[in-house]
Amino acid sequence: MTQLTLINALLKPHLAFKEIAQVDSNAAKILQKIVPLLLLAPPIFVWLGSGLFGWRMGADEALFLDNTSRVIISFCYFIALSLGFFSTVFIAHWMGVTYGADKPLKVYFALITVVYFPFLIGSIAHIYPNAFFNLLVLLLTLIWCMTLLYKGLPVALEIPPERGMLMSSSLVAWLLVGAVSLLGISVGLWTIGIGPAIAV
Amino acid sequence: MNGIKLHKKLEENTGLLIFGILFVSAIGGLVQVIPSLYDESLSTPTANTRVYDAVELTGRDIYIREGCHVCHSQQIRPLVAEVERYGPYSRAGEFAYDRPFLWGSKRTGPDLHRVGGKYTDIWHEVHLLNPRAVVPESIMPAYPWLFERNASQAGNIKKKMQALKRLGHPYTDDEIANAAAALDGLLEIDALVRYLQMLGTGYDESMNDMEGM
Amino acid sequence: MSQNTKEIYHDHIVIRLIQFSLFWVIVAMAVGVYLAAEFIWPEIDFGQFWLSFGRIRPLHTNGIIFGFGVSALMATAFYSVQRTSHVPLFMPRLAWFCCYAWQLIILLGGLSLLAGWTSSKEYAELEWPFDIAIAIVWVCFGVVFFGTIANRRIRPIYVSNWFYGGLIIVIAMLHIVNNLAIPVTIGKSYSLYAGAQDAIVQWWYGHNAVGFLLTGGFLGMMYYFLPKQSGQPIWSYRLSVVSFWAFTYSYIWAGPHHLHFSAIPEWVQSLAMVMSLVLLAPSWASMINGIMTVSKAWERLRTDPALKFVVMSLAFYGLATFEGPMMAIRSVNVVSHFTDWTIGHVHSGALGWNAMITYGTFYYLVPKLVGRELYSTKMANLHFWLALAGTMLYVLSMWAAGVSQGLLWLSIDEYGQLSFSFREIMAAMSSYYGLRLIAGLIFFAGTILMTWNLFMTMRGQKTVEVTPPPVAEKYRINPSPKPAADHTGTEVPA
């Protein structure tokens, strides 16, 4: 049962989402257990990758950072992912009312966990931190995540697909803003001296 | 609820609405733009900044015509890395005779504000004829037509200088009278290279002390 | 004389403007795709001056903003102002003049850009003869628009009209002030302002052309068509009132954030940065208003592909209006300025917001105007996914390219030396430029699909004749001068 929910989440998402929708099933509980893994793994991959291969932003030479910077960056990434994850759960819960969903928070938790799942797989690419390679993997991951979101959300929340489409789009708006904030915050940190050495 | 009442008036009167929009939208410009137009520190040339001569002016207008400013900025920001890469950062007074300004908004290619003197004339000519001959990675377009046209055909230089004189550029009557002759025998490429070679030469060491950098 | 007693909304002109808008979007996007290809294969200008990057880039921006954008805004403004005023257009002949004169300006103006006539000022590249022509047509547009409002039969002026009104008035002010110049020859003039002052005036214009045309104008479109498409009143009228005035007041200040770290005075830069952050509030107020309005109308999504575009456009509107203020913060701008991040930001607005909301509006409007179902709903649904994929890919590839450029340009090694040469960094961008080309092609393919779909919908159809409906006594003003005009639409002999 435990394994089934997770495997379903990857291979047969509609089954997983149906299971999530049943409030008294223990799917939500199982999924909650893997959240720490989801949030910790990508930063660890970043830490590993930046040490092993260095950052390649496209130019020939790799940017190597000292261990302290790498730890700080990975930690910031962890914070950002956690903020992104939990804020999306709570915002989805808050939005749900507008779109006629009436589910406890744990259902949203499970839903976002499944939607986020492909990102864990995609984040393995961080081990080789070549910017373009990571972008390509991220694009594929994004398509996967968005498909799960648009298809899964109405099933898990048991609302009509049209309302699900509206709500998913609102969440996409939130995630886009989140993504660009992440960019902005990282750039801001570089400017004040955390991360890669830039001379401003 | 007075605000609502007031708004009801605006909402029902075309003239008031037009006036309201004009008034509200004009404030920002009046406070921000108008004082800048009277700020003399922005319009006073630095000691070494001079007007463009006939050839340079022609070159500058070719630079504009070909849209060089679309990919090259002419504005070095006061950042350590930028000063190291391009040279001393840009001062307002250096642009006092720039009509229009050519600071640009995108660097597909490098900044050009201090490109003057960095490369030889020949380098520029080869580069403009076939950029990849000197910079293999370059994605700059080639400009073969500049090598076929006479500089004197790129606009009426006398009229140009007269127009600029009316705007306050200190051209003498002699300079204007001899302008056309100065372009004799030059191709467009020659004028453009002359302009590129004088870019950024308005800088002098004294500006550093002046601003206490 | 006698057959003209029935009052009919002037919708022919709306259709014609939509057709022109579709024509320009195809032309200007094709140019955009070509430009994207020139980033990868610079030789494809074949040594022809009129295919050179520096000349066709302004053709792309002007074609999209003024060809596609303004034609669409004129079309929807003419359509909605008649319906919100319950009266046909004021001076319809002048409206036709605006329609055709505008297209002529774009056509000849575009050719003049290829010929190298340019003032070099972004989004104001057209030279002085065109500037004068634009000013004249714009004033005529204002006369038709405000004349119709003045003639209206219903007391309140609906909120979409304020946004369109703001577009007309503010753009007129900006256009005239920014383009003041001394003409030398027919295709050459010198700006009245020089250097740093010219820069301040230009970005006061440039930023607010984006503000009042691409944001404000299209918000007017949203405020009229979203309630119509969703069959719901606007979620909060009061919010729209507050956001309109806050938007109009604060947008104007933000221009100099395009000149951070330049030679303009510090106080101007700081003020612009603060006002850019303030601007987020009114921008998002309109987004929330839109999202809440459409959230009640979900049942329409089942049958109406148009609404999807509007929903997605609001998401990208939210992104772009958040990203803009963020990039105006000096410590972000220091990295993002001069890079492709700016290009990505512009396109998240232009593709995600402007194009999508216009496409949504066209899919709704065209079938209504010609009285026939949309030719193919399937095609429209496919277009939606192409548009979404194209925009996403564009934005992400330019984010990655821009942040890389910004970081690498500034990065130094342990000795304090620059880590990378400019050409190394430039060469590293080619894979992102490749992705961007693909993104552009995907979006362009969707646009072609839509044009075909709308063309087949319009083909052979006549414009539906609509008469102004009666206005409830309570709201009525300006009774019709000719009592002959009957609101129910029955013929009354003169």
CA distance C40 to chain A (A): 15
> Which tens digit of pLDDT belongs to each residue from C354-409?
999 999 999 999 999 999 999 999 999 999 999 999 999 999 999 999 999 999 99
Asked if A50 and A129 count as a contact pair (C-beta separation under 8 A), the reply is yes
Question: Does B72 lie at the interface with C, CB-CB under 8 angstroms?
Answer: no
| Among the partner residues B32, B61, B68, nearest to C271 by beta-carbon distance | B32
pLDDT bucket at A60, cuts 50 / 70 / 90? low
Q: Which residues of C touch A149 (CB under 8 A)?
A: none
Distance between terminal CA atoms of chain A? 55
- pLDDT at B9 (0 to 100): 81
Q: Which domain holds residue C279?
A: 11-463
Residue of B nearest to A191 (CA): B79
Which residue ranges of chain C lie beneath pLDDT 50? Answer: 1-4, 482-494
pLDDT bucket at A51, cuts 50 / 70 / 90? confident
Report yes or no on C478 lying in a domain: no
> Which tens digit of pLDDT belongs to each residue from B66-125?
999 999 999 999 999 999 999 999 999 999 999 999 999 999 999 999 999 999 999 999
Report yes or no on C3 lying in a domain: no
Q: Phi/psi at C182 (nearest 5 deg)?
A: -100, 115
Asked if C217 and C165 count as a contact pair (C-beta separation under 8 A), the reply is no
- pLDDT at C494 (0 to 100): 31
Does the pLDDT at position A57 exceed 80?
no
User: Are A98 and C435 an interchain contact pair (Cβ–Cβ within 8 Å)?
Assistant: no
Q: Which residues of C touch B66 (CB under 8 A)?
A: 49, 52, 54-55, 116
- pLDDT at B135 (0 to 100): 96
- Spatial separation of the C-alpha atoms in residues B17 and C185, rounded to whole Å: 39
Asked if C356 and C350 count as a contact pair (C-beta separation under 8 A), the reply is no
> Which tens digit of pLDDT belongs to each residue from B41-51?
999 999 889 99
- Spatial separation of the C-alpha atoms in residues C63 and C267, rounded to whole Å: 35
Q: Which residues of C touch B138 (CB under 8 A)?
A: 42, 423, 426
CATH number of the domain that C117 lies in? 1.20.210.10
- pLDDT at C487 (0 to 100): 44
- Spatial separation of the C-alpha atoms in residues C436 and C401, rounded to whole Å: 10
Mutate to test the interface with B, among C278, C422, C425, C471 (most CBs of B within 10 A): C422
- pLDDT at A2 (0 to 100): 52
> What is residue C42's DSSP assignment?
G
- pLDDT at A1 (0 to 100): 42
Report yes or no on C476 lying in a domain: no
Report yes or no on C226 lying in a domain: yes
Q: How many alpha carbons lie under 13 Å from residue A68 in its C-beta half-sphere?
A: 2
Residue of C nearest to A66 (CA): C414
- Spatial separation of the C-alpha atoms in residues B48 and C258, rounded to whole Å: 27
- pLDDT at A62 (0 to 100): 76
- pLDDT at A199 (0 to 100): 85
CA distance C251 to chain B (A): 8
- What is the percent of chain A with per-residue pLDDT over 70, rounded to a whole number? 96
- Spatial separation of the C-alpha atoms in residues B166 and A100, rounded to whole Å: 69
CA angle B130, B132, B135 (to 5 degrees): 125
User: What radius of gyration do chain B's Cα atoms show?
Assistant: 22
- pLDDT at C491 (0 to 100): 36
pLDDT bucket at A12, cuts 50 / 70 / 90? confident
Count: domains in chain C: 1
Query: Strands C181-185 and C188-191, how do they pair?
Result: antiparallel
Report yes or no on C473 lying in a domain: no
Report yes or no on C5 lying in a domain: no
To the question of whether residue C257 is assigned a binding role by annotation, the answer is: yes
Report yes or no on C294 lying in a domain: yes
What are the tokens at C71?
């034609």
Does the pLDDT at position B213 exceed 70?
no
- pLDDT at C480 (0 to 100): 56
pLDDT bucket at A31, cuts 50 / 70 / 90? confident
What are the tokens at C199?
């820069």
Residues 391-430 of C with CB under 8 A from A: 392-393, 396-397, 399-400, 403-404, 406-408, 410-414, 416, 419-420, 424-425, 428-429
**If you average pLDDT over residues A166-193, what whole number do you get?**
90
ipTM score: 0.94
**If you average pLDDT over residues A166-191, what whole number do you get?**
90
- pLDDT at A198 (0 to 100): 86
User: Are B156 and C54 an interchain contact pair (Cβ–Cβ within 8 Å)?
Assistant: no
Report yes or no on C489 lying in a domain: no
| Among the partner residues A170, A173, A198, nearest to C407 by beta-carbon distance | A198
User: At C427, which amino acid appears?
Assistant: A
Q: Which residues contact C186 (CB under 8 A, 6 or more apart)?
A: C127, C129
Residue of C nearest to B24 (CA): C249
What value does the mean pLDDT of chain B take? 92
